[in-house]
Amino acid sequence: MSRFLALTDATGFEQRLALSLTAGHELQVLPGMAAHQAPADVLSRNVGGPIDVVVIGPDINAEHWFALASTVDVDHPEIVVVLAAAPGNDVTLAALRSGIRDIIDPELDAHDLAQALERAARTAAGRRQAAQPLAQEAAPRGRVVSVMSPKGGVGKTTVSTNLAVGLARTAPMGAVIVDLDLQFGDVASGLGLAPAHTITDAVQGSAATDAMVLKAFLAPHPSGLYALCAPLRPAEADLIQPAHVAALVHQLSLEFPYVVLDTSPGLGDVVLAVLEMATDAVWVCGMDIPSIRGLNHGLEVLRQLDLLPPSSTVVLNFADKRSGLTVKDVEATVGLPVEVVLPHSRAVPFSTNAGVPMLQAGRRDPVAKGLGSLVAKLAAGTTAPTARSSRRRVAVS
């Protein structure tokens, strides 16, 4: 639907305008004297949604329509201004100079007038759509925290869900977790949720472009967290492309201070796509040789692709002094300090099976303490989102 604002006292022209517009358009008419006012005052008299097309009637003198059109074209480039006037070289030249995009003969029949108005509406829609990415780029973005591990089975989802719950406490209703393990994600289970909608719904239809529709697909959690869970059927993962996920994460980052991504193991296309927007990476590593070597390999690949987020935190899970390895061994291999150490704990599987994260239950446990320190680090961080060029070429599994 497009909205037209007409400035005219010409009753006949006003009637032809109203008859020419289809049911999909709205028309508001202001007296011709409104053209004597400042353009900001004219637009402030609009009632309803944003104006798409301003129609200047044939009874408005050149001095006033020239000033109005010039200012609207500069201050509101998404609005198309058309002039109803008898065609002539002098009028056409002045109109082009003022930013008017079309001149309509006020004596046009209803069919031709309807076509001219529809053309102006399409032009306005194109302008508004083209301006949206620019507005989004200028808007402040929230922190995008990608929780990752090249190997599976290291407790990544446990870390993700607890981190998200903890961040939701620091920013009530300001954190969202997205399950990007599209085939076998367990965020819903880890949070004790039975969501009515999943990420499959969020990347389709109007939710892909409308933040209000997207929010309707998020599942609320008692902690104040929102969750977007993995598809209910693994086959649905094939319907979700990396570009869909990248657009989704970008949109969520414009709406929430914290976006936590529980990624799938490895460095597939979806993981690489979201890493281009991530402000923080949390690397979860087990205290075993395969997990440590996998992390080292993954970091090397991302350094080559220039996709390492500005901030990285290594979380050592299942830490055990009897494993034959030390924290220093892990740091020496991966080339990053281990900032969070989570020991073995019987409380963790109990928490997972109950669908109640450790930080939600408020348990007194060394693991809960370590997870709390991770939340504090992320909440206190000031890493600003940075643009990163896409240099990835292949998926690494």
Tokens 């070289």 — which residue? Answer: 89
Q: Which of 280, 278, 167 is nearest to 221 (CA)?
A: 167
Contacts for 299 with CB less than 8 Å, ≥ 6 apart? 283, 308, 334, 335, 336
The confidence score (pLDDT) of residue 384 equals: 45
The confidence score (pLDDT) of residue 329 equals: 92
What are the strands, taking DSSP E only, across the chain? 2-7, 25-30, 53-56, 80-84, 102-104, 143-148, 175-180, 219-220, 226-228, 258-263, 280-286, 311-319, 338-343
CA–CA gap between residue 306 and residue 297 (Å, rounded): 14
Provide the CATH topology of domain 139-380.
Rossmann fold (3.40.50)
The confidence score (pLDDT) of residue 133 equals: 58
The confidence score (pLDDT) of residue 219 equals: 93
For residue 54, is pLDDT > 50? Answer: yes
Average per-residue pLDDT in the chain?
86
* pTM over cut 0.85: no
Share of the chain above pLDDT 90, in %: 42
For residue 141, is pLDDT > 70? Answer: yes
Mean pLDDT of 244-255: 90
Q: pLDDT higher for 243 or 328?
A: 328
The listed range with the strongest mean pLDDT (81-95, 109-123, 272-286, 381-395) is: 272-286
For residue 389, is pLDDT > 50? Answer: no
Q: How confident is the model at residue 383 (pLDDT cuts 50, 70, 90)?
A: very low
Tokens 């044939």 — which residue? Answer: 58
Q: Which strand ranges, in their side-by-side order, compose the sheet holding 226-228?
A: 219-220, 226-228, 175-180, 258-263, 143-148, 280-286, 311-319, 338-343
> Comparing 2-137 with 139-380, is the CATH topology the same?
yes
For residue 394, is pLDDT > 50? Answer: no
For residue 385, is pLDDT > 70? Answer: no
Q: pLDDT higher for 394 or 259?
A: 259
Domain 2-137 CATH class label: alpha beta
Q: pLDDT higher for 193 or 211?
A: 193
The confidence score (pLDDT) of residue 223 equals: 93
CA–CA gap between residue 199 and residue 178 (Å, rounded): 8
CA–CA gap between residue 25 and residue 55 (Å, rounded): 14
Integer CA distances (angstroms), 306 to 103, 311, 332, in order: 52, 13, 22
pLDDT digits (tens, 9 = 90+) for 79-136: 889 999 887 767 777 777 778 888 888 888 888 888 888 888 888 877 776 666 555 5
For residue 284, is pLDDT > 80? Answer: yes
CA–CA gap between residue 5 and residue 60 (Å, rounded): 14
Q: Which of 52, 45, 121, 56 is nearest to 83 (CA)?
A: 56
For residue 353, is pLDDT > 60? Answer: yes
Mean pLDDT of 198-216: 81
Q: How confident is the model at residue 186 (pLDDT cuts 50, 70, 90)?
A: very high
> Could you give the dihedral angle defined by the CA atoms of residues 365, 369, 371 and 375, in that order, rounded to the nearest 10 degrees?
150
What value does the CA radius of gyration of the chain take, rounded to a whole number of Å? 28
Domain range list for the chain: 2-137, 139-380
Q: How far is CA 367 from the centre of its chain?
A: 33
Q: In this structure, how many other beta carbons lie within 10 angstroms of the beta carbon of residue 226? A: 23
Angle at 122 between CA 51 and CA 21, to 5 degrees: 70
Q: Which of 372, 347, 357, 349 is nearest to 188 (CA)?
A: 357
Q: How far is CA 153 from the centre of its chain?
A: 30
Q: pLDDT higher for 39 or 356?
A: 356
The confidence score (pLDDT) of residue 180 equals: 94
The confidence score (pLDDT) of residue 393 equals: 38
